[in-house]
Amino acid sequence: MLKAVKVRLYPSNEQKRIISSQIGGARYVYNRTLALRKYAYQKLGIKVGKFALIKHITKLKKRKKTAWLKEIDSQAIQQSIANMDKAYQHFFKGGGYPKFKSRHHSRQSYQYPQRVKIEGNKVFLPKVGWVKMKGWREEFAGKIKTVTVSYEAYQYHASILIDTEEDKILKPCNNINKAIGLDVGVALMVADSSGKKHKPLDLTKELEKLRRAAQSVSRKKKGSNNRAKAKAKLTKINLKIANKRKDFLHKLSLQYAENQGIVVVEDLKIKNMTKSAKGTKEKPGKSVKAKAGLNRVITQQSWGMFFEFLEYKLKERGGQLIKVDPKFTSQTCPKCGHISKNNRKSQSKFVCESCGFSENADVVGAKNILVRGIHGNNASLQIAV
């Protein structure tokens, strides 16, 4: 089982300089090989493979202008080419075309595929040396697969991917008592089939600070030191919001993963739900602004990240996440099965037109999600021994 751990790094000034050069070298290699592959295919109709690109970078090291590439870790270079190749292959499978990496992006990183060592509170990074770190615990035992070193908001981090080498034996299980349904929403972050409700994380103050910081950047002259300082402040606020949101989602997902064997959620197409309000047939005005505002709220809830955290935490404990069709889950009466959009009287109130059953609308949705997951996918339900 693969597990990712993110730690804070505290490099010396000399180590910061080396890390900066490694990041710049990896970015240069990524952009250079992407440009070469793009040119060869569009102009000459030739497909250049990953290994041919690696040989090309080896030749560049022998040239006077690009001899500085010798200072960059060779495996970090190969990993940069591998990441570019992966992005390129994803394009041919229907994904977006790979983008060139910018040196002005708020987050910069490079990756080691191996040769990283950890001893106590220090991590050994090739070309950099032993670096102090915080956030590592002895319980994170296993084989290190990759390490991604990143720089953002004047902070250095390392994301360490570990193979815990733990295999769980799965067996069929129909224990409904260990299953729960979750309905995610805007007014409530999560409502479950047992009746519990969790409000969204309140980021009002942080978002106001972010707005002011962004406004401050826009008022500064481009290229000035004041603008650079304002951008750094904006990046720090963004990072703080992201960390606060992740902490909230980690704790909430852990709460359900520890107490349940099976968790059922809706298979939401979040990208389709957050399409831009531009180009809508409605007249410009409140309707378009409301759509844009709804898009913002949905993205701030981070449902996709919540499901991702929940899935891997369940797997670690031998549980399972099941996704079901979200159609009519909030319009179906869990008592008599009557389906009508009129059953949902408001955002929070559900009253069945047929039998009069009344309950919170989000809780009703969670109950229907659970029933759909258990009875619709009963044959494939599995939990660990």
Query: Domains in the chain: how many in total?
Result: 2
Instruction: Note whether residue 62 is domain-resident.
Output: yes
Same domain membership, residue 174 and residue 309: yes
Helix/strand/coil for 360: strand
Q: What is the per-residue pLDDT for 277?
A: 43
Q: Is residue 208 part of a domain?
A: no
Q: Looking at the structure, do residues 158 and 177 belong to the same domain, yes or no? A: no
Q: Does residue 167 carry a catalytic annotation?
A: no
Q: Most distant CA pair in the chain: distance in Å? A: 82
CB burial class (10 A; 0-12, 13-18, 19+) of residue 50? middle
Residue 158's domain comprises 2-163
What six digits make up the tokens of 15?
Answer: 């180590």
Q: Which of 85, 183, 192, 359 is catalytic?
A: 183
Q: Decide: 236 and 277 in contact? Cβ < 8 Å.
A: no
Q: Strands, E, within the chain: which ranges?
A: 2-10, 107-112, 117-119, 122-125, 129-134, 143-152, 155-163, 170-172, 179-184, 190-192, 197-198, 262-266, 320-324, 349-351, 358-360, 382-384
Q: Residue 312's pLDDT is what? A: 86
Residues 124, 260 share a domain: no
Whether residues 275 and 338 fall in one domain? yes
The one catalytic residue among 73, 85, 311, 362: 362
202 labelled catalytic: no
Q: pTM higher than 0.85, yes or no?
A: no
Q: Assign 263 to helix, strand or coil.
A: strand
List average pLDDT for each run of 10 residues in the chain, which is 385 residues long.
Answer: 88 97 96 93 88 93 94 95 92 87 90 93 96 90 91 92 67 59 88 91 91 94 90 90 92 89 85 54 52 61 88 86 88 87 86 89 90 64 31
Domain final residue pick, 115, 147, 163? 163
* Residue 31 belongs to a domain: yes
Q: What is the 3-state secondary structure (H, E, C) of 104-155?
A: CCCEEEEEECCCCEEECCEEEECCCEEEEEECCCCCCCCEEEEEEEEEECCE
119 lies in the same domain as 180: no
Annotation says 85 is catalytic: no
The DSSP annotation for 14-67 comes to: HHHHHHHHHHHHHHHHHHHHHHHHHHHHHHS--PPPHHHHHHHHHHHTTSSTTG
Residues 145 and 277 in one domain: no
Among residues 73, 85, 266, 311, which one is catalytic?
266
Q: Let me know if residue 211 belongs to a domain.
A: no
159 and 285 belong to one structural domain = no
184 and 322 share one domain: yes
